Structure 1
Amino acid sequence: MRPRRTLARIAITILVLSAGVTSASADTQVRCSETDVPVTYGLLLHGTVHGQLCVPPTTTNTVQLLVHGGTYNRYYWDIPYNNGSYSYQRDMAANGVATFAVDALGSGRSTQPLSELITGTTEASAMHQVIQALRAGAVGGSQFSRVVIVGHSMGSGVTVLEATGYHDVDGVVLTGMTHSMDLLALTGVFVDGVRPALLDPVLSQRSSDPGYVTTMPGTRQVFHNPGLVEPGVLAADETTKDQVAATVVPDLLTLAFESPLSRSINVPVLIANGASDGLFCAFVCASEDTLRAAESPYFTAPLEVHLTPQAGHAVALSTNAADHREAIRAWMDEHSF
């Protein structure tokens, strides 16, 4: 653990206790701001990646770049429910960790190209450009010398492609991902629960082309069951859901989720999943030992794993999400990020 971060956390704790308030009040010192990062994609087309930067009250040289999964957006990391009690970003910042949560191309407030122009490789290139901006101080005026990229689900696939294609990060966290997916269950999700976003009562307002898809209304529980989730979180998940280009699937599936490409990652890796994830961790999450044994052949870099009890695929939104966040912080401290 870095001494500076340790002292910062102690200082925050002393300030909170001396004021006679709960630890949640430390969130009032967290500073979050939104910004657009210019990127190029396709045949030198220009666009922007929108994101939210949350920084702690103390100075840090490390930032997590947060990459959401399919049909999500940056709100996966800052879900608007119960005064931010499930916010990954605000909790991390209150504990001394800066984060930048982005909307992938085609989602949220980022540029929405023709869906056929978006692939996993395209998204990985955009994340590489965001990482360059974070290191250069072009995001919120904060210059970060260390970048840890954190992905969820499809975002973890993008993370693998980014980390292996550019070797520009200091650490990799993969959530909602293994190389042992339940393809039958995932096929069921796409066949029975997904439709073009232009048919959705809310997302249709974006006038996206038919290649963008989203989940059917009232079906978000598929990303949580059989794990524990609060009804209010599930409702917020539905309210903030987004679209994803179906064209990201082919290269993400073959390169990131099925191949041993991840062996090219040359920095420490943490796989942090929900123990009840029946989609992307269906066959190897009976225990952390089982997960580690199954995933070790896919990595040459130092690998650690963590399973959050009674958490489904959307582990950061589970009832036990605090355990998930603390495990990631502990891993970062272990590697002096």
Structure 2
Amino acid sequence: MQPQIPLYLSALANWTQSTLSCQDLRIPVSVEKTAAGEFSRDVYNDEILFALAGRKILVSNTYEMSARLCMPENSEGPHADTLQVLIHGASFNKKMWDSHYKPETYSWVKRMSHEGYPTLAIDLIGSGNSTFPDGLFEVQTQMYVETVHHLVQQLRKGEVGGRVWNKIVLVGFSIGGMMGTSLAQQYPDDFDALVLHAISWDISWIYPAFLSGLQAPARDIDPEKWGHISPLYQTQSTREGRRVACFAGSYEEGAVEWDWHTRDFDTLGAAITFTYHLVEAHEYSGPVFLGLGDEDSTFCGGRVCREQGYAVYKKFPKASAHDLKMYKETGHLILYHHSGQALIADTLAFLDTHGF
């Protein structure tokens, strides 16, 4: 008797031969100041911290968001009208979704394209090829929320790529998943479904994990490459620090190397503010998926993740469905572990079940 091959592995045989059409976009996104008073780093005071903690926007501005829109070969398939908006984590960029190292294993974009899903992978402001404004007053988590909200409004109106999107799914990793909870609270109609990776609402270990990653100003780590960037932009200074932050359990070294060479930046503003966005989305009524590695150092520290993920039921009390998956021998960056294929398969099953 032949052993049964898991569905997610049997699907790999032909999908790498699929073709997809991608275009790089520069999308203008704007925010409006909501904080009272004027702010300057020349005269720092606690009103700045209070405004950031209150999820306020400190500066009105318009930015350019870099994005990559990829359309599947089959434009008439059952999923062709569902756009996945892919939101990376802190110290990542949109490259995390389309690995060039073993893309047949680690590229979310290529696999989703084969399954018939269009994807829009974005660089958050202050990351990748997007605008790099002030790393404290501007590049903070509420600004991420507002700029993604503005992006979604444009997608709904057909102002991005010339197509109106009626079904939009957020796929958010780490701080991208935190933003998903905050968007669902503040703008519950923006996304029709939420796919959240590598978050929980247990913040006990977040800042110790952040410190253990050994982050430092990017321009001090590599002056030749990043010397022009403000010291408010930071990243991991060593491979081992990055490994501690992102990997545990079962993974391969090639994935670690790809992640190391494509790592991006966090900012002081985002580091101060992201925990304020692990909130309860009272009015969100769509389905929500949560995937969490059982050795996620950010959300479980020295413990094995056990009950942390179950908070998803409480935090989305009106969601039409909750789907929680825990992945064994898996750290923070689930997609780049051996369990990454299971994460993809579980996401596909979740979307198909709920009509996306």
The percentage of aligned residue pairs carrying the same residue is: 25
Is 1:104–2:124 an aligned residue pair? Answer: yes
Other-structure match for 2:167? 146
Instruction: State the number of aligned residues.
Output: 311
Superposed CA deviations along residues 50-83 of structure 1, whole A, max 9, x for unmatched, are: 1111221122111111111110000111122124
Equivalence for 2:26: 36
Q: Does 1:47 align with 2:47?
A: no
Please show how residues 264-275 of structure 1 align to structure 2 within 5 Å: 264-275=283-294
Describe the shift of the 1:318–1:82 C-alpha distance in structure 2 as closer, same or farther (beyond 3 A): same
The correspondence for 1:63, drawn from 65, 83, 97, is 83
Change (3 A) 1:247 1:66: same
Q: Secondary structure at the match of 1:155?
A: helix
* Equivalent-residue separation in structure 1 for 2:158 and 2:191 (angstroms): 15
Preserved contact between residue 284 and residue 291 of structure 1 (Cα < 8 Å): no
> In structure 1, what is the Cα distance between the partners aligned to 2:228 and 2:284?
38
Cα drift, residue 158 of structure 1: 1.6
| Structure 1 residue 206, shift from structure 2 partner | 5.9
Q: What is the TM-score when the length of structure 2 is the normalising length?
A: 0.80
Of the three residues 237, 240, 244, the one matched with 1:222 is 244
Number of the residue aligned with 1:246: 268
Query: Any residues of structure 2 matched to 1:1-337 within 5 Å, and which?
Result: 22-27=13-18, 29-41=19-31, 43-59=59-75, 60-116=80-136, 117-167=138-188, 168-183=190-205, 186-190=207-211, 193-201=214-222, 204-205=225-226, 207-218=228-239, 219-254=241-276, 256-257=277-278, 260-281=279-300, 285-286=305-306, 290-291=307-308, 293-300=310-317, 301=319, 302-337=321-356
Provide the secondary structure at the position in 2 that maps to 1:63: strand
Deviations for 1:117-138, whole angstroms, at most 9, x for unmatched residues? 1221100011111112222333
Q: Which runs of 5+ in 2 are unaligned?
A: 1-9, 34-58
Q: State the alpha-carbon separation in 1 of the partners of residues 60 and 260 from structure 2.
A: 34
CA distance in 2, matches of 1:324, 1:131: 25
Name the aligned partner's letter for residue 47 of structure 1. Answer: Y
TM-score normalised according to structure 1 size: 0.84
Output the CA distance in 2 between the equivalents of 1:151 and 1:25.
24
Following the alignment from structure 1 to structure 2, what is the Cα–Cα distance between the partners of residues 169 and 108? 24
Mapped to 2, the partners of 1:192 and 1:306 lie a distance apart of 26
- Cα distance in structure 2, aligned partners of 1:248 and 1:217: 21
CA distance in 1, matches of 2:96, 2:204: 23
Query: CA, structure 1 residues 296+22, in 2 after alignment: closer, same or farther (shift >3 Å)?
Result: closer
Relative to its length, the structure with more helix (as a share) is 1
Q: Please tell me whether the aligned partners of residues 29 and 65 of structure 2 are also in contact (alpha carbons under 8 angstroms).
A: yes
CA RMSD in angstroms, aligned pairs only: 2.4
> Shift of residue 186 of structure 1?
3.6
SS of equivalent residue, structure 2 residue 86: strand
Shift in Å, 1:262: 2.9
Are the aligned partners of 1:197 and 1:203 in contact in 2 as well (CA < 8 Å)? no
Moved more, 314-323 or 301-310: 301-310
Match of 1:7 in 2: none
Q: What is the DSSP-based 3-state SS (H/G/I as helix, E as strand, rest coil) of the residue aligned with 2:63?
A: strand
- What amino acid is aligned across from residue 187 of structure 1 in structure 2? P
Q: Runs of 4 or more off by more than 4 Å in structure 1?
A: 281-284
Does the C-alpha gap of structure 1 residues 44 and 279 become closer, same or farther in structure 2, counting only changes over 3 Å?
closer
3-state SS, counterpart of residue 115 of structure 1: coil
Distance 1:202-1:229 versus aligned 2 partners, 3 A rule: farther
Partner of residue 10, structure 1: none
- Flag the 1:200–1:264 CA change in 2: closer, same or farther, 3 A: farther
Contact kept? 2:288, 2:323, Cα under 8 Å: yes
Residue matched to 2:37: none
Task: Check whether the contact 1:292–1:304 (CA below 8 A) recurs between aligned residues.
Answer: no
**What is the CA–CA distance in structure 2 between the aligned matches of 1:203 and 1:197, rounded to whole Å?**
10
Q: CA deviation at 1:140?
A: 3.1
